Amino acid sequence: MHVDKAKKRIAKQVKKGFKGYPQISIEYFGTDASCATVVVVQFTLEEGSEVQEERFASQSDARENETIQTALIKIIDRANAISVIQVPTLTLIK
């Protein structure tokens, strides 16, 4: 899947807002605001349940990495996520 198509699918899910559980949360981290080198994906099955987490790392910007973006789509699809939440800004790693 092309990176633009994957990003559009993720954005479409995020735009729906919180609709219930299961929920996927996506957060990007980087050493500066221009390059996200780490992506953290959290899965919550139901309210109050343990959060499962998976991390992806990239040498380049993970937001433009086709493999990572495609993996995020697959995680969302396989989890049957009703809600997809994405932190709107890049979190800086110190």
Kindly list the structural domains of the chain, giving each domain's residue range(s) and its CATH number in brackets, ordered by start: 3-85 (3.30.720)
Q: What is the mean pLDDT of residues 56-60?
A: 94
Task: Say yes or no to pLDDT of 1 above 80.
Answer: no
Q: Is 23:13 a contact under the CB 8 Å cutoff?
A: no
Tens digits of residue pLDDT in 64-73: 999 999 999 9
Token pair for residue 19?
């609709």
pLDDT band, residue 33 (cuts 50/70/90): confident
Strands 23-30 and 83-86, by their bridges, are parallel
C-alpha span between 26 and 83 (Å, rounded):
11
Give the residue carrying structure tokens 């390059």: 35
Task: Say yes or no to pLDDT of 44 above 90.
Answer: yes
C-alpha span between 24 and 65 (Å, rounded):
19
| Per-chain mean pLDDT for the chain | 95
Q: What is the reported pLDDT for 18?
A: 95
